[in-house]
C-alpha cells in the first residue's frame, strides 16, 4: 500500500483510544508474556532501554524511541534489570489501517513525544474532548508513517553516529569518534550531519542534553549545577547559557514556571 493510501485511510477514519497510560517498570500495566491486541499499539520511551520481539523480529529500544505494533501481531517485552523504562502506551482502535510491518523510530526533534503527551493529558481529563483526541491520534499516526517512510529512503545515513549520540549524549563526544564510526573525515561528517538533521553536531547534542535537563528540573530537586553535570555539560555556566539559548529562559525560571503551572 502506498503512503498516500494510508494518509487517506487516516483522514477519513474515526480512531478510538482504547488504552492510554504513562508508567514505568514498577507498574502492573506491563505484560511480559507473549500477547497481542485487536488494536494498534504505540509506545514512546521517555527513559530506559530494553529488548522487544514482535512476530519474530527483535528490536533494541532506548530513549526517545517510538515503537508501533500492528493490530493482532504477537509481541513480547523483556524484563530489564538495569535502566528502568518509562513509557506512554496507547492502544488505537482503527481497523481500516492495516499496517504491514512493525515500526521503530527515533524521535529526532521531540515532535512525537509532545503528541504522545498531548494525547495522554487529554485522555486523563475528567471530560476528554473526543474531537481533540481524534485529531491528535490522526496527527500522530500520520507523522509516524511519514517519518518511517523517510527513514527507509535514508536508512543508513549517519545511522552509527546518530545511535552513538543518542546512547552517549551525557558524555563527552568528539567529531573524531563519530567520523570513525562512519569511516569518513570529520569535515565530511559535519557537512552530512548538518544536511541530514538541520543542525550542527554540538547543537544536536545540546538539544538532547537540554531535554534531559528539563526532565530533571521538573521531576527532581537537584541543583542547577548537579543537573548540568548529569545532562552532560562540563560546567554550570555553559549549561545555563545553552539552556537560555535553546529554551528562551534560564533553568531556574523554567523550573519555577513549571511549578506555578502545576499548582493551577
Residue at which a domain ends, from 97, 129, 153 = 153
Examine the domain organization and report whether 66 and 193 are in the same domain: no
Domain carrying residue 193 = 159-263
pLDDT at res. 110: 79
> Mapping DSSP to helix (H, G, I), strand (E, B) and coil, where does residue 263 land?
helix
Among the candidates 105, 121, 153, a domain finishes at: 153
Q: Tell me what the pLDDT averaged over the chain comes to.
A: 89
3-state SS string over 223-255? CHHHHHHHHCCCCHHHHHHHHHHHHCCCHHHHH
* Digit-coded pLDDT (tens) for 209-237: 999 999 999 989 999 999 999 999 999 99
In three-state secondary structure terms, 191 is helix
List the grid coordinates of 79.
524484563
**In b/e form, how buried is each residue of 202-220, taking b as 16+ CB within 10 angstroms?**
eebbbbbbbbbbbebbeee
Same domain flag for 84 and 190: no
In this prediction, residue 264 has a pLDDT band, given cuts at 50, 70 and 90, of low
The pLDDT of residue 2? 87
| Residue appearing with cell numbers 555539560 | 233
Number of compact structural domains in the chain: 2
Same domain, 135 and 24: yes
Distances from the Cα of 76 to the Cαs of 24, 35, 36, 51, 254, in angstroms? 16, 7, 9, 9, 38
Q: Are residues 9 and 113 in the same domain?
A: yes
Give the CATH number of the domain where residue 122 resides.
Answer: 2.60.120.280
Residue bearing cell 505484560:
31
Residues 194 and 214 in one domain: yes
CATH of the domain at 170: 1.10.10.60
What is the pLDDT, as a whole number, of residue 79?
Answer: 67
End position of a domain, from candidates 126, 153, 180: 153
Stronger pLDDT, 103 or 163, i.e. the higher one: 103
So what's the pLDDT on residue 257? 85
- Asked whether 52 and 94 are in contact (CB, 8 A), the reply is no
Query: What digits encode the pLDDT tens for the residues 2-50?
Result: 899 999 999 999 999 999 999 887 788 777 788 899 999 999 988 777 7
pTM of the model: 0.62
Amino acid at each position: 500500500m502506498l503512503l498516500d493510501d494510508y494518509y487517506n485511510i487516516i483522514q477519513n477514519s474515526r480512531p478510538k483510544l482504547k488504552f492510554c497510560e504513562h508508567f514505568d517498570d514498577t507498574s502492573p500495566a506491563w505484560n511480559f508474556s507473549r500477547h497481542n491486541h485487536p488494536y494498534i499499539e504505540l509506545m514512546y520511551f521517555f527513559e530506559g532501554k530494553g529488548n522487544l520481539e514482535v512476530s519474530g523480529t527483535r528490536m533494541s529500544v532506548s530513549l526517545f524511541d517510538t515503537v508501533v505494533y500492528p493490530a493482532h501481531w504477537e509481541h513480547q517485552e523483556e524484563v530489564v534489570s538495569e535502566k528502568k523504562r518509562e513509557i506512554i502506551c496507547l492502544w488505537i482502535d482503527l481497523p481500516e489501517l492495516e499496517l504491514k510491518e512493525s515500526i521503530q523510530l527515533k524521535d529526532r526533534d521531540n515532535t512525537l513525544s509532545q503528541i504522545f503527551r498531548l494525547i495522554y493529558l487529554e485522555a486523563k481529563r475528567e471530560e476528554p474532548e473526543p474531537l481533540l483526541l481524534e485529531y491528535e491520534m490522526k496527527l500522530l499516526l500520520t507523522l509516524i508513517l511519514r517519518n518511517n517512510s523517510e527513514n527507509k529512503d535514508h536508512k543508513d545515513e549517519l545511522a552509527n553516529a546518530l545511535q552513538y549520540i543518542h546512547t552517549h549524549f551525557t558524555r563527552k563526544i568528539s567529531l573524531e569518534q563519530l567520523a570513525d564510526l562512519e569511516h569518513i573525515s570529520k569535515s565530511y561528517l559535519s557537512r552530512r550531519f548538518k544536511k541530514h538533521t538541520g543542525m550542527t553536531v554540538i547543537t544536536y547534542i545540546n538539544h538532547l542534553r537540554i531535554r534531559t535537563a528539563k526532565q530533571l528540573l521538573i521531576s527532581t530537586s537537584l541543583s542547577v549545577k548537579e543537573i548540568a553535570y548529569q545532562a552532560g555539560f562540563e560546567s554550570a555556566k555553559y549549561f545555563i547559557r545553552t539552556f537560555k539559548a535553546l529554551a528562551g529562559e534560564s533553568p531556574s525560571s523554567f523550573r519555577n514556571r513549571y511549578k506555578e503551572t502545576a499548582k493551577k
